[in-house]
Structure 1
Amino acid sequence: MEQLNFIMGLLIPGPLCPGKDFDVFLEPHIEELLDLWKVVPTLDALTNKSFDLHAAVIWCILDYPALSTLSGRVTRGYYVCVRCDKDPCSRRIRNKICYIGHRRFLPRDHPWRKKKWFDGKDEEHDKPEDFSSDELKKQLERVMDVRLGMHPQNKKRKRGENGQCWKLRSSLWDLPYWSSLKLRHNLDVMHIEKNICEYIVSTFLGIAGKTKDTINGRLDLEDMGIRKNLHLKRDGNSYSVPHAPYVLNKTQKLAFCEFFRSVKFLDGYVATCIIVDGCNLQGLKTHHCHILLQRILPAAIRGILHKDIYEAISELGNFFQKLCAKTLKIDVLHRMKDEIPIILCKLERIFPPPFFDVMLHLAVHLPDEAILRGPVQYG
């Protein structure tokens, strides 16, 4: 993984970027990879002897939108999660598709499966399953004839049948070992962490246009029949929005901002984004959110917000802190695999359904990838 060993192929994004036709540009690279897999006569500079070299792709490193482009996997709609093949956790709410229902990842005898705090129902489903090799083969066969490029006979494809998770068969499947790999494409831990951090801070501060505490979110709670104290209140010819415990009031915001001013090692740019110009949260860099979520945010809300909220955010930050460590222990990763569904369930009891998009859900799959791959720096 040293820089001098990197071989990077770049296509600059823009109005004329290849997009879904990226596979056309990938085919020459696949031909070279096939040659590398067969045999390449190579000279050992130390012994001055020749040997047969075989080289293979172990996994791909990319962000979530690029994962869809390279793999051909659907990353929109009900099948937006690339790790949940059958019976995903996606659910339609007022104005979007959310990912709630992480009680499915808990043991069958867990008491929270019978509680109606979460969505007003008992949870009887098991966690989503992976495709078997035969099912995966059928999925790819359905998109074998998808034409790439600006072909004159191309037509807009009809909506696929229910359960179809692939939109095209990537040329990566031509590699003889590709179907045997357990981890083909890495989830981008750093961008997942950045998005989650932005969701939390935006909702805490009630930033217009970015907060997940919306009118539709309150109506979703009413549709589910849960948390009646947060339902819209009729006030004559209008409605009022009750204050949510996860949104800071004026006094709490002052204490929250005062904490950030007191943090000596926090650079002025981050402090300004959060304290002065909250609407500029997207200007925060990935490494800013990395330290915010893991270290600073749990300390900033301690004693300001309710204990349940503080503990859930603190446990989430601790989860990413252990996941992003330079060295990992297998027994710790298995313990984290059991802990993350509980953390997400705690968050489901606090935040409204629109808070849970696919980025929150993908956290439940990160320990499994770390067990296969190792530390984050390798993915």
Structure 2
Amino acid sequence: MFSLKAALLWTISDFPAYAMLSGWSTRDGKACPRCAGDTKSCWLKHGRKFCYTGYRRFLHKSDRMRKDKISFDGKMEWGEAPKLLSGMEMLQQLNGVLSEYKKEDLKKRRIELFDHDKLQFWKKKSIFFELPYWANNLVPHNLDIMHIEGNYCDNLLSTIMGLVRKSKDNLNSRRDLEELGIRKPLHPIRKGSSLVLPLFSFTLSRVDKDIFCKVLKEMKLPAGYGSNIARRVHDQSIWGLKTHDYHMLMQQLLPIAIRRVSPKNVVLSNVFR
């Protein structure tokens, strides 16, 4: 007979579940729990969603991407990465905003959301803080990178293949570029009563899509490396992949497949490296 004791080291979840576990709202303009109140964001009028900027602050100060205005929001980035809050600092904020994790506290907090001097994005006090050691954990919450990588790769493939309903390149996104005043060659062009979208450098023609899918379909992979990707390629579209398949595509296969059909600047870009 012995006493078994357990300790919760950290949680691993996707981004929506992060909000449930940590108590930080991940839906509004301050959705990044790492940057917290120092999150940089802007509202996209046509896409009707928040766009989060300021991520170049985490790069080294000598990184050339800090000076790149064309590829980003039209501005150079010289800011410093925000300070990471410790567990004790989070607890102090929570004690000042929410005394307990109750729905009544959440309703009261929503009334003050329009007062920017008192703007808070804690929606509840996590029950994990009842653990005596939780405030001292260095990394209490983790994001499931495989889940995020799968979603990102799915959106990337849909945009490259030009799938109408799943592509992130649409009329609303082009209108937002025009609204922000960046990437002028991609702004919608009005011809008569209709709008024409200029082609991106990564836009694939029907022949290019056939070559791209053929490369993935005819790849010979080692046994046990992953599922049979050839079965997931269907008439200029790719669907039904598992999370590990998306990981292989992002890390190794996609840069090889895209090399045959895209210009050099796309192949050498950070997306496919």
TM > 0.5 fold call:
yes
Separation (CA, whole Å) in 2 of partners of 1:71 and 1:260? 40
Partner of 2:262: 305
Separation (CA, whole Å) in 2 of partners of 1:285 and 1:111? 35
TM-score by length of 1: 0.61
Q: Residue 247 and residue 100 in structure 1: after superposition, are their counterparts in 2 closer, same or farther (change >3 A)?
A: farther
Partner of 2:41: 90
CA deviation map 1:144-198 (0-9, x unaligned): 24425xx9x9958525545423211112101111000011112101101101111
Partner of 1:66: 17
Match of 1:158 among 110, 116, 120: 110
Percent of paired sites with the same residue: 39
Partner of 2:243: 286
Separation (CA, whole Å) in 1 of partners of 2:230 and 2:22? 39
Separation (CA, whole Å) in 1 of partners of 2:60 and 2:252? 30
Greater percentage in helix: 1
Q: Residue 133 and residue 273 in structure 1: after superposition, are their counterparts in 2 closer, same or farther (change >3 A)?
A: closer
Partner of 2:84: 130
Q: Which amino acid aligns with 2:93?
A: Q
Q: Displacement, 1:77?
A: 1.2
Q: Displacement, 1:134?
A: 6.3
Map residues 59-208 of structure 1 onto 2, 5 A cutoff.
59-94=10-45, 95-117=48-70, 118-131=72-85, 135-141=89-95, 142-147=97-102, 158-161=110-113, 162=116, 163-208=119-164
Q: Residue 160 and residue 131 in structure 1: after superposition, are their counterparts in 2 closer, same or farther (change >3 A)?
A: farther
Q: Secondary structure at the match of 1:79?
A: coil
CA deviation map 1:204-255 (0-9, x unaligned): 0011111111112112222233322211112123221111112211121111
Map residues 359-378 of structure 1 onto 2, 5 A cutoff.
none
Separation (CA, whole Å) in 2 of partners of 1:146 and 1:155? 12
Does 1:212 pair with 2:171?
A: no
Partner of 2:272: 314
Structure 2 gap segments, 5+ residues each: none
Separation (CA, whole Å) in 2 of partners of 1:275 and 1:75? 35
Q: Displacement, 1:285?
A: 1.8
Check the 8 A contact 1:172/1:178 in 2, yes or no. Answer: yes
Considering Cα pairs closer than 8 Å and 6+ residues apart, tell me whether 1 or 2 has the greater RCO.
1
Check the 8 A contact 1:86/1:129 in 2, yes or no. Answer: no
TM-score by length of 2: 0.83
Separation (CA, whole Å) in 2 of partners of 1:289 and 1:156? 43
Q: Which amino acid aligns with 2:182?
A: I
Q: Secondary structure at the match of 1:294?
A: helix
Check the 8 A contact 1:139/1:164 in 2, yes or no. Answer: no
